[in-house]
Structure 1
Amino acid sequence: MLSYFPKPYPDEDFRSIIFRYHIRTGKLYFEETNKELFDVKSKRNIYFHHNLIKLISLFNQSGYTIDYFLNNHTVFPLINPFLSTQRKQDFQQSLSLKDSLKGKRLFKDYIAKEIKYCPHCLEDDYEKYGEVYSHRFHQLHFMDYCERHQIELISICPKCGVPLSNANGKMLLRRPFCENGHNLASDSSNFNECPKLIERVLQDFHYIVSRSSKINRELILDLFYSALGKRGYAEIYSEYLQTKRLKTDFLIFVENHYQILGAQHHKAIDSRFNMLLSRKDSLAPNILAYLLLIQFISNSSEEFFLDTIGFSIDIPFKNRPQPCLNKICKYYNKLIIKAYSKTYYPIYVQGTFLCPHCSYQYGRKWIWNQDKKSGEINPPFLISRGKLWEKEVMKLYSQGQSLKVIAAKMGLGTYKDPIAKLLKEKLGEEYAKRFNLKTNFTLHSIHSRLEPTSSNYEQVINEIEIGMKEVATTIYDQQLLLIRRQNIVNIMNENPTLKRKGIEELARADYRWLMKNDREWFNEFLPKPYTVKNKC
């Protein structure tokens, strides 16, 4: 437990608190202070230690917590609203890990290398507390004015130019005098007053800090999109912004205030500007750019955050449910697809629709008209027929159906190419054996195409099978003869009462070929011709 710890002053920089503890406990080296308070080996007065949990454990019911130091003695309240949820969680976890570097990285991009002071604050603090200290928000690298007194900050003596503190934070001001004895607050009227733009930025700065716990990154981005959309920077055909035009106009705005911002204007328009309004996680949000962007589109942060009126564009496909276009699906032409994706292109929006029941997938294009206010929907185009369609095709194939029959049953009419393509992918060489006319007349293929047979035709089928064995190595015409006979047998087996005319309609080519080239078998096996004598 600590027997003594200095009471923090309002808005005191965390390093200043540790420095006052170091001085008043009489330690000679900063390594001793860091070892005692944070259990780390360091010669520097670090901005915010990542092993802060060690310091908290040394207090005995003092009310000091990690959140207390973060929110009252660092610039975290200004950074916090712009961080993603994941980034906040990572940072909070890092504070209890001795070897974590995430805490350092969070503040590294915002804290100036030199310690800065406000002459008026020095005077006020010395009069009120009998000593001076460094203020937390004075240490931002992109802000050179005091948010309270709105005068320029100093890091060196205006009269002799000596540094007021060293960069590693081991030596800070205790009185409002430089090491040569010059009074830093004696002639503060000579310091530059705050320009109007920076004055407005400082007001925004104060507004955001005071509401830090109520503002988050998602809210800020939503408000930016809404405000920029109403000012004409939204892509009329998508939810995106015209980043290139926005950056050009914003650059002109910033460069008009070049004399005010000085070197800081490059930090407002840096290589990461395109990520400024991205919803992806950003390791180090560009706070200065956000503050200036608020000035670019609004009169103040208060107006920016209170403006909740959005803007609207015509929504492609109206976000309405879409039908399934798979003819064999039980939800065919029904509005079953409620969730779908949209991809935005310069002149159209493509919707991709997937049936949750049969996985049939298709796309449509929403083409914007010239007025960019209403669109027309192009005919659908196929992306994938889905698992149900493939399963049904393979089922019909296993039943011995031809490509033509399968195509008809799958709702393709006479278009057989999709069926053939799928079977080639699934079957490989087996597909060629079955559907190649010169190789498929085998006993195996005959068996695969046989339907359950009645006893009336068993003898005939046996004769055909015997014939197939005998001519398995003979010429093509003999094989063709047997397969044509088999086709006729199958038809008669399925339709026992069918007459010759009906058989001819179902297998015209086989019927006429056998009648011409195999007349004896044809007359013996087929039903007798329809005559008056037979009728009687």
Structure 2
Amino acid sequence: MLNLPIQFPDEDIRSIVFRYHIESGNESFYKSHSELFSIRPDKNKIFPKLHFFFDLHYKEEEDRKKFMKCHTYLPFLMPFIERSKWETLISRPTAFRSAWRIFEDRIKYCPECMTMDDLEYGMCYPHREHQLRYIEICMLHECKLIRSCDLCGEYYSSRGDLSLTLVPRCPNEHLVYRSHVHTAELNPFMTWIVESFRLMIEHYGEIDANYLLEKLIGVLSKSGYIELQGAILKSKLIEDMVAFFGEELLNKYGLNENQLLERRTVVKLFTSEDLYHHIYFYLFVVKYLVGDFNKFLFSDYEYSSVLPFSKGPWLCKNKICPSYNLPVITECIRKVNQYITGQFTCCICGYSYVQRYNSLSNSPPPKKGRVKDLGFLWRERVAKLLSEGRSIHSISKQIGSCQATIKKFKLNILDTSRGKAKKSTEVLKNEFTELMSKRGFTTRSKIRKEFGDSKYIKLMRLEREWMENLLPQRKANLYKYRDYHQLDIEAYESVNKAYKQLLTENPSQRITRILILKHTTRLVFSRLHAKKKNCFIKTKNLLDELSENQDSYLKRIFPLVLKRFENAPRNKTLNWSLIIHKLHSGYKNASPETKEWVLQKIEDYQCDRIKL
């Protein structure tokens, strides 16, 4: 086996693999690839599995890191993946396939770089930073990147990148002359994206998803996009970004407002597991909130919540208090429910009011709050004025309170002749006794309906013991005497039996809780949907265990997919595209791990067919 060819600055790993194939003299690219990676792929992969490759050519850890930093695409993704998963990225890169979207499907070249590399190194090669999706300009030479020949339209790389151009001309021998170089103005956003990736590659190994997320949380907090409870205002941030950059610009970089605001997407944003799914989104978040990526990475952003209503002291709002509009209140009782509220009580007059805090505004809280208690000073002053025979109107003017409040105070506190509540209770008791003596009721519901809901509830609240002596006995609650432990065991056995039957039948639909229960008895089905369904703890846990997730389901029905393929003579080659478009559309939602599993099964199936 040959040693690896000499590598050039920023050379794509696919170029190194192809040059090894040329120098090895192997007839088949697959043989060259298997010598390097011990597998025979269907294309020259942008993310090959590197363990065998490193064991063969780079035994020292420092040499491995240098190769990864300078020639693979791992440094572009590692800052957006948790450090604990970096080893998985190296050994099983397909697990992070959704991150590959930031790279183009076809290799791009800079015409000027092709000519300059050919003059300096004797051959041209693809540069890594040219392969970023949506980046169409070479930052060094300020010219448009090309994928194919201007004259004949032939691509400079074959499908699957099994063949790459090593000289500045196309497969039809048309040279890439400098006269064909398309000059272009540098786009500030493209420049910023490339410079951001350069900075992350320069600090390769220092930055991971948790580091970026910590910085993002600090910036979001400083910019007012984190509530006091700690929730990130994701929808507001997205809407503000669209208003700032414009929908057209964001669409150019694959960012769609409606897709980002979808529930299944927005709930995962700003989690360490999600960063690699939306790399360009987070780059634009940094651009919007900070502007300078270097400043973002290496500045300290402290995350702290603003104390609602500050530290005090606070103003007394009682107009008759000697300390009116003075900061004499020293205590604030803060509560967090749907909103954040603060209750303030003046120790001089007893006046208490509640205000709501607006966490999104830097302005002070509203002047008016909801009055909780008018205070002892107010009650003493009003009581004195009433005892002097002053009218409610004049008291209202002097105190500054509405007439309705003073009238209510007079009725509830000072009117000692009030006995309406007691009299009304006695009247209701007489009325209820008369009703019970005239008719023989057997159930409480009939009595309540006949007597009236409001009167019945009032008597039960005020005279429950007296009512219980007159009312018929409550019916026994049969639910109390059921042995739910035994019923749970019976239901558990029934569910187990139904599941085994389903496995024998191997249904084409997904095995869910409902499907399992439908194969049990009617009694078990109804019990697990009744009011006491929470008593069947053991059975519910079993149902959760037996229910298939999407990936388990897709793996189980794969033999059925193979049967469909074999039963359709027009299908000649089994591949992923055929499965998702013709055989079973459910595989479109497969996870990267399941997709890799299916691709391996397809490869095994094809090998078995060749042997036959």
Change (3 A) 1:101 1:81: closer
Worse-matched range after superposition: 180-189 or 293-302: 180-189
Q: Is the 8 A contact 2:247 2:257 kept in 1?
A: no
Q: Is the 8 A contact 1:152 1:192 kept in 2?
A: yes
Q: TM-score, normalised by structure 2?
A: 0.48
Structure 2 counterpart of 1:110:
102
User: Structure 2: which amino acid aligns with 1:30?
Assistant: F
Write out per-residue CA displacement over residues 407-460 of structure 1, whole angstroms, 9 at most, x where no aligned residue: xxxxxxxxxxxxxxxxxxxxx99xxxxxxxxxxxxxxxxxxxxxxxxxxxxxxx
In 1, Cα distance between equivalents of 2:132 and 2:71: 13
Structure 2 counterpart of 1:262:
252
Change (3 A) 1:105 1:311: closer
1:291 matches 2:283: yes
Structure 2 counterpart of 1:39:
38
Q: State the secondary structure of the residue aligned to 1:251.
A: helix
Structure 1 counterpart of 2:147:
155
User: Structure 1: which amino acid aligns with 2:284?
Assistant: L
The number of aligned residues is 329
Structure 1 counterpart of 2:538:
none
Change (3 A) 1:107 1:314: closer
Structure 1 counterpart of 2:234:
243
Structure 2 counterpart of 1:233:
225
Change (3 A) 1:209 1:171: same
Q: State the secondary structure of the residue aligned to 1:220.
A: helix
Q: Is the 8 A contact 2:33 2:40 kept in 1?
A: yes
More helix by share: 2
In 2, Cα distance between equivalents of 1:150 and 1:104: 32
Q: Is the 8 A contact 1:208 1:301 kept in 2?
A: no
In 2, Cα distance between equivalents of 1:134 and 1:195: 21
In 2, Cα distance between equivalents of 1:66 and 1:196: 34
Structure 1 counterpart of 2:72:
74
Q: State the secondary structure of the residue aligned to 2:178.
A: coil
User: Structure 2: which amino acid aligns with 1:250?
Assistant: M
Write out per-residue CA displacement over residues 144-192 of structure 1, whole angstroms, 9 at most, x where no aligned residue: 3334334332111233322111130111011111223333241355233
User: Structure 2: which amino acid aligns with 1:77?
Assistant: P
After superposition, the CA RMSD in angstroms is 3.7
Structure 2 counterpart of 1:324:
none
The correspondence of residues 1-12 of structure 1 with structure 2, limited to 5 A, is 2-12=1-11
Change (3 A) 1:241 1:191: same
The correspondence of residues 470-485 of structure 1 with structure 2, limited to 5 A, is none
1:177 matches 2:149: no
In 2, Cα distance between equivalents of 1:224 and 1:192: 33
Q: Is the 8 A contact 2:144 2:182 kept in 1?
A: no
Structure 2 counterpart of 1:55:
53
In 2, Cα distance between equivalents of 1:123 and 1:8: 18
Change (3 A) 1:240 1:290: same
Shift of residue 229, structure 1, vs aligned partner: 2.6
In 1, Cα distance between equivalents of 2:179 and 2:336: 60
User: Structure 2: which amino acid aligns with 1:262?
Assistant: K
1:134 matches 2:129: no
Structure 1 counterpart of 2:20:
21
In 2, Cα distance between equivalents of 1:234 and 1:62: 45
Choose the corresponding residue for 2:244, options 240, 250, 253: 253
1:274 matches 2:266: yes
In 2, Cα distance between equivalents of 1:268 and 1:87: 30
Q: Is the 8 A contact 1:31 1:42 kept in 2?
A: yes
In 2, Cα distance between equivalents of 1:169 and 1:315: 58
Q: State the secondary structure of the residue aligned to 2:33.
A: helix
Q: State the secondary structure of the residue aligned to 1:168.
A: helix
In 2, Cα distance between equivalents of 1:60 and 1:72: 14
Change (3 A) 1:285 1:317: farther
Shift of residue 242, structure 1, vs aligned partner: 1.5
Q: State the secondary structure of the residue aligned to 2:137.
A: coil
Q: Is the 8 A contact 2:48 2:93 kept in 1?
A: no
The correspondence of residues 331-370 of structure 1 with structure 2, limited to 5 A, is 346-348=338-340, 369-370=356-357
Change (3 A) 1:22 1:104: farther
Change (3 A) 1:18 1:58: same
Shift of residue 34, structure 1, vs aligned partner: 1.9
The correspondence of residues 422-501 of structure 1 with structure 2, limited to 5 A, is none
Change (3 A) 1:185 1:262: farther
Q: Is the 8 A contact 1:30 1:43 kept in 2?
A: no
Structure 1: unaligned runs, 5 residues or longer: 319-342, 350-366, 377-427, 430-536
1:204 matches 2:196: yes
The correspondence of residues 315-326 of structure 1 with structure 2, limited to 5 A, is none
Change (3 A) 1:63 1:231: closer
Q: Is the 8 A contact 2:14 2:161 kept in 1?
A: yes
Q: State the secondary structure of the residue aligned to 1:122.
A: helix
Shift of residue 8, structure 1, vs aligned partner: 1.3
Shift of residue 275, structure 1, vs aligned partner: 5.3
Shift of residue 128, structure 1, vs aligned partner: 0.6
1:84 matches 2:74: no
In 2, Cα distance between equivalents of 1:119 and 1:268: 37
Change (3 A) 1:12 1:276: farther
In 1, Cα distance between equivalents of 2:196 and 2:96: 26
In 1, Cα distance between equivalents of 2:147 and 2:258: 23
Q: Is the 8 A contact 2:2 2:24 kept in 1?
A: no
User: Structure 2: which amino acid aligns with 1:297?
Assistant: L
Write out per-residue CA displacement over residues 235-256 of structure 1, whole angstroms, 9 at most, x where no aligned residue: 2x22222111111111233436
Write out per-residue CA displacement over residues 282-303 of structure 1, whole angstroms, 9 at most, x where no aligned residue: 2733221122222112231122
User: Structure 2: which amino acid aligns with 1:291?
Assistant: L
Q: State the secondary structure of the residue aligned to 2:8.
A: coil
Q: Is the 8 A contact 1:49 1:103 kept in 2?
A: no
Q: TM-score, normalised by structure 1?
A: 0.54
Shift of residue 104, structure 1, vs aligned partner: 6.8
Structure 2: unaligned runs, 5 residues or longer: 311-334, 342-353, 370-479, 482-612
Structure 2 counterpart of 1:145:
137
Shift of residue 39, structure 1, vs aligned partner: 1.6
Change (3 A) 1:158 1:289: farther
Write out per-residue CA displacement over residues 457-491 of structure 1, whole angstroms, 9 at most, x where no aligned residue: xxxxxxxxxxxxxxxxxxxxxxxxxxxxxxxxxxx
Percent of pairs identical after alignment?
Answer: 24
The correspondence of residues 493-532 of structure 1 with structure 2, limited to 5 A, is none
Write out per-residue CA displacement over residues 294-314 of structure 1, whole angstroms, 9 at most, x where no aligned residue: 211223112222432436433
Q: Is the 8 A contact 2:43 2:161 kept in 1?
A: yes
1:308 matches 2:335: no
Q: Is the 8 A contact 2:14 2:46 kept in 1?
A: yes
Structure 2 counterpart of 1:187:
179
Q: Is the 8 A contact 1:255 1:265 kept in 2?
A: no
In 1, Cα distance between equivalents of 2:257 and 2:166: 32
Greater Rg over alpha carbons, structure = 1
